[in-house]
Amino acid sequence: MYGLIGRMLAAPGRREELLDIMLDDMDFMPGCLSYVLARDPSHEDAIWITEVWDSAEDHKASLALPSVQATIAKARPLIAGFDNRYETEPLGGIGL
């Protein structure tokens, strides 16, 4: 499996709007076992994203899906950047 843990920063004051777009658009993606969006209670503009995929190739391929491209186009103006990004090798647990 392939995992990502990342923190996205919304444009100042736009976090809820960005979350709404990302949550509304969330849809089946081949090879995606888990994709969780969470507020960071310590930073008013930050969103933690934790992902588990069957493989790195599945994650990469997802970025080309029309549904994902459409979400990226809507979300991009509300994204200020990313300040944490960790790749992981998930092994198992609950909920996969």
Residues 6+ apart with CB under 8 A from 27: 67
Interface with a copy of itself (CB under 8 A), residue from 55, 67, 69, 88: 88
Contact pattern from residue 8 through residue 37 relative to a copy of itself, giving x for each residue in contact according to CB under 8 A and a dash for the rest: -----------x---x--x-xx--xxxxxx
Nearer CB in complex with a copy of itself: 25/80: 25
30 half-sphere exposure, CB direction, 13 A CA radius = 9
Q: Does 75 engage in binding with a copy of itself (CB under 8 A)? A: no
- Is there a contact between 61 and 2 (Cβ–Cβ < 8 Å)? no
Told to check if 63 binds a copy of itself by CB under 8 A, we report no
